[in-house]
Amino acid sequence: MEYLYILQQALVWIITIFWIYQMAISICSLIKLKDKPFIINKNHKFMAIIPAHNEEAVVADLIESLKKQDYPKELYDIYVIADNCTDNTAKIAKEAGAIVYERFDESKKTKGYALDWFLKQKIKEKASYDAFFVFDADNIVHPDFIKNMNIKLCQGEDVVQGYRDIKNPTDSWITAGYAIFYWTMHRFYHLARYNLGLSPLLNGTGFMVKFDVIKVSSLIAIFMYKDRLFTSILYLAWTERQLKEFALSAERIFEVIDHSKFKLEHYGNKRVNELSGKIEFKNVYFKYKKDSVLKGVSFNIEPKDTVAIVGKSGSGKTTIVNLISKIYEVEHGCLYHLKQAYSLS
């Protein structure tokens, strides 16, 4: 048990130190810094890339919002990658004014592979773009998005994550939760790290990458390792919780094995080799610390009967089984295993 305790405490400290580190960085979001000076002052040429799989219902709205950008129209192009689509995504995107690339590859369906396939072609063509954006098909883009991204490119930034918000924060508690997550993420994570000169996290949409510094193969890595990072953090928290539950269960098992917290029972001159016969609960009460679970429960189970114990979560179903198997002792009342004229209670 001691090594489990040590492992549990180590995980607690690791997670604690991680969150202290994050909180210390978050404080830097409250600092107002001066904007970086321009390294170059020009209007750059961009391409907006929209990987889309069966997005006929929403892709046109995104394209329309991109066409309404407060930026010279000749300095950006809109591309849609219709990735393994079985609907009218490609047709609708073309009608909305986008340049459409259709891709069919059943073995490689994710956004990273679609971007890899598309950018390889653009690099081979030696396309004359300074940078590109990536959007999810259900996004809507603010009219000043490209103008502000151009400013960041003029300041020498190579990769920039845009401000991601939610379109309908008041519709439900789910959308409100997402909105709060995005607001806190951008303020206390992205902005804080930017103020410290650290790299923020790419959210998977609404970001800009300078075209001449990107390695095509690294796009797949960006999306894969972004997911792995958050998965690892969540797994650490889950492991710490499971270890706590396991330690409590193991402690209880050793108590049963060692009989360290159980009173010895005496059954007169009867030798009990096995428990069989009728089981009877008679006005049984039981509670975990201060929480009462069973209150005056009485019932009989006859030999060879099959009984279903039904009830809502927390009503005491598992507790009844644990009392029968003597893992716990009743608080009040009696529990009998009856075979002849003796009782085990």
Radius of gyration of the chain, Cα coordinates, nearest whole angstrom: 32
Structural element, H or E, at residue 92: helix 89-96
Closest Cα to residue 83, out of 50, 58, 124?
50
pLDDT value for 150 = 96
76 strand-pairing partners:
46
Q: What is the token pair recorded at 216?
A: 């095509």
Residue 72's pLDDT is 96
Q: What is the mean pLDDT of residues 295-324?
A: 86
For 109-162, how does the pLDDT look when each residue is reduced to its tens digit (9 = 90+)?
888 889 889 998 998 888 999 999 999 999 999 999 999 999 999 999 988 989
Structure-model confidence comparison of residues 104 and 21, the more confident one: 104
Q: Over range 281-304, report the average pLDDT.
A: 85
- Looking at residue 342, its pLDDT comes to 34
β-strand partners of 294? 286
- Where does the pLDDT of residue 260 fall: very low under 50, low under 70, confident under 90, or very high at 90 and above? low
State the pLDDT confidence band at 275, using cuts at 50, 70 and 90.
Answer: low
Kindly compute the dihedral angle of the four CA atoms of residues 205, 208, 209, 212, in this order, to the nearest 10 degrees: 140
C-alpha angle 205-208-214 in degrees, rounded to nearest 5:
110
- Can you tell me the mean pLDDT for 321-325? 82
- What is the reported pTM? 0.60
Task: Give the span between the Cα atoms of 236 and 240, in whole angstroms.
Answer: 6
Structure token pair of residue 279 = 């089981």
pLDDT band at 345 (very low <50, low <70, confident <90, very high): very low
